[in-house]
Amino acid sequence: MSEYVFLFRSGDEEHRAAMGSPKQMQATMEKWIAWIKELGEKGQLKDPGQPLERVGKVVKGRQKLVTDGPYAEAKDIVGGFMLIRAQDLAHAAEISTGCPIFETGGLVEVRPVVKLDL
């Protein structure tokens, strides 16, 4: 089994649809918790990761210029991540299809984790 990262992305509108009211936020979180629990029971969950705030800083270039981020022009912002175990990239993508983010128009970026021998 290899490791893959799921990067959960959504725009502001999708985020509001999922987390707008306290009742909607609770319903959304219950779906996420159930999905994460299912991944764990199947042995596919390496690390549940964490949700991320929708604000931050970007440091770039040789001058190490610090600006507000994520980029304002970005359509989708990374809202969280998770590490999973899967047979291959296709299997990891298949696992991601159970994610509740799709119900509100978000997306999951699936990326292989490169193992470094340090």
Output the pLDDT for position 20: 77
Output the pLDDT for position 40: 97
Output the pLDDT for position 45: 98
Output the pLDDT for position 97: 98
Output the pLDDT for position 66: 93
User: For residue 79, which of 111, 39, 50, 46 has the smallest C-alpha distance?
Assistant: 50
* Residue 100 confidence (pLDDT) above 80: yes
Instruction: Determine contact, residues 43/85, Cβ cutoff 8 Å.
Output: yes
Residue 73's contacts (CB-CB under 8 Å, 6 or more residues apart) are none
Structural domains in the chain, sorted by start: 2-112 (3.30.70.1060)
Local confidence band at 71 (pLDDT 50, 70, 90 cut-offs) = low
Residues 17-58: pLDDT tens digits? 787 788 888 998 999 999 999 999 999 999 999 999 888 898
Q: Around 10, how many Cα atoms within 13 Å sit in the side-chain half-sphere? A: 24
pTM of structure: 0.87
Percentage of the chain beyond pLDDT 90 is: 62
Give me the residues paired with residue 6 across strands.
82, 110
> Span 54-68, mean pLDDT?
90
Output the pLDDT for position 99: 97
